[in-house]
Amino acid sequence: MQQITILGSTGSIGVSTLDVIARHPERYSVYALTAQSKVDELAQQCARFKPQVAVVGSAEAAKKLQMLLDAQGLHTQVGHGEAALCAVASAPECDSVMAAIVGGAGLAPTLAAARAGKRVLLANKEALVMSGPLLMEAVAASGAILMPIDSEHNAIFQCMPASCQRTPLAHGVEKIMLTASGGPFLKRDVNTLDQVSWQEAVAHPKWVMGRKISVDSATMMNKGLEVIEAHWLFDVPADKIEVVIHPQSVVHSMVSYVDGSVLAQLGNPDMRTPIAHALAYPERISSGVPPVDLIQIAQLSFERPDFLRFPCLKLAYDALQAGGSAPAIMNAANEIAVQAFLDSRIGFRVIDQLIARVMDAMPSVAITDIESVFAQDRSARELANSFIPS
C-alpha cells in the first residue's frame, strides 16, 4: 500500500490524482492533502480520503479547516505554511509525492521530497525551471525517483529505454520533440492579439487547466517552461529539443533516434493517463481514460511554431541558453505579467514585452542554493511589478 502526499490537491492535477487513487484503493492511500486557500474543497476531500494531515496556506485558513473537520468528526491533523508543506512532503510515512502546486510556491516542498528520497511525481514545472541543478542534485544524492507528470515529458519518458533516460544522446537519441496544441490563438490574426480578453485566453481548445497555465498555453510560455524542464529531466541541450505544434493533442511528444526511427506516445488529452503511469511505474494500471480512437480523429497535423506569434517561446530558449538564474528570472516575470493580464491591468501582448524587459534588466547569476533562487525570484517580481502601470 503506497501512501501518497498530494501537494495542491484542489487543483486540476490534484483532483485527477485523487480520481486515479480512488480507482485503486487496494494499492494507494492518502497520507496528506494540501491546498492554499480552497478550504471547503479540501475539507470535502478530507472527508472522502481521510488523510492523516492536511495543510493550507495561512493560520486563518487552518482555523476554518479545523472547524469543518471537527464538525464531521474527522481526526486529520491540520497545518499551515511552507514548513508544514515541506514536512508532509518529506514525512517517513509518505512514499510518493504528487508535486502539483503551481508556481514558485511549489519549489521548497518539491525539493524537500527529493532530498528525502521520495518518488516525486513532478507536475510543478517551476521546480526545474527555477532550480534545475538543485533538484537534480537532490535526486541523485538521495536516490529519489523523479517521474514526469506533464503529458509531454511523461510521453518522452515512455519513448525512451529506462537505461538511457539520463544519457539519451549517448544511446542513439537524436532529438526530443515536444508537441504543443498552439492554444486558442493559433490561427487568429497576430495583429489582433493585443485585443484579446483573459476570458478568451483561458479558453483552451483541448485541455482543462487552471487560469495561469491556460494563459501560459496561449502565449506558449507553457511550452517554453517545458523546454527547460526537458533539458533537466533528460540532460539534453536546447538545440536538441524541438517544439512541434500539433492541434489535435493526440501525440503527446516524440523521440527521434539516429537510425531514423521516431517513437511517439499517443492518447486522449486527459492528465489521468500520465498520473496513472507515474503512480504505478513500471507497472500499468487503469486510469479511467478510454483509448484514443484514431479512426474517429482521422487526421493528425503538425507545424513549426512562429516566434512572432509566440515570442514567449523564444524567451524561454534564450533563458535556457543563458543559464544560471535566467530561467528563474523569466519565470518570476511571467507569473507577475500573467496575473496582471488576468487582473486586466495589462494587455495580452504586453506579457512577453514585460518578461523581456525584466530579463534585459537583470543579468543572470549563478544558482548555488535555494536562497539564491528565491532572492532572484523576489528581485524579478519586484522589477516586473515596477514596470506595470498603477
Tens digit of each residue's pLDDT, the chain (390 residues): 999 999 999 999 999 999 999 999 999 999 999 999 999 999 999 999 999 999 999 999 999 999 999 999 999 999 999 999 999 999 999 999 999 998 778 889 999 999 999 999 999 888 899 989 999 999 999 999 999 999 999 999 999 987 666 778 778 899 999 999 998 888 899 999 888 888 888 887 766 667 888 899 999 999 999 999 999 999 999 999 999 999 998 999 999 999 999 999 999 989 999 999 999 999 999 999 999 999 998 899 999 999 999 999 999 999 999 999 999 999 999 999 999 999 999 999 999 999 999 999 999 999 889 899 999 999 999 999 999 987
308: nearest Cα among 386, 200, 193 = 193
Please report the pLDDT score of residue 208 as a whole number: 64
Q: What span, in angstroms and rounded, lies between the C-alpha atoms of 341 and 327?
A: 21
Sorted by where each begins, the domain ranges of the chain are: 2-148, 156-311, 323-390
Q: Would strands 251-257 and 262-266 be described as parallel, antiparallel, or unpaired?
A: antiparallel
**Domain 323-390 coded CATH 3.40.50.1360:** no
Helices (H), the chain: 12-22, 39-49, 59-71, 82-90, 107-115, 125-142, 151-159, 198-201, 211-219, 221-234, 272-280, 294-297, 311-322, 326-342, 350-361, 370-386
Grid cell 480520481 is found at: 19
- Determine contact, residues 204/180, Cβ cutoff 8 Å: no
> 10 Å Cβ neighbour count for 295?
6
Same fold, 2-148 and 323-390: no
DSSP structural state of residue 290:
P
AA letter at 253: S
Closest by CA to 113, choosing from 154, 141, 144, is: 144
The residues, ordered by sequence, that sit 6+ positions from 79 with a Cβ below 8 Å of its Cβ are 53, 54, 55, 56, 62, 87, 88
Enter the CATH code of domain 2-148: 3.40.50.720
Q: What pLDDT does 118 receive?
A: 98
d(CA 258, CA 170): 11
CA angle 172, 178, 179 (to 5 degrees): 135
pLDDT at 127: 86
Start-to-end CA distance of the chain, whole Å, equals 53
Residue with cell 535526486: 139
**CA 325/CA 371 separation, integer angstroms:** 12
Return d(Cα 371, Cα 131) in angstroms, integer.
Answer: 11
Give the span between the Cα atoms of 378 and 104, in whole angstroms: 10
pTM of the model: 0.90
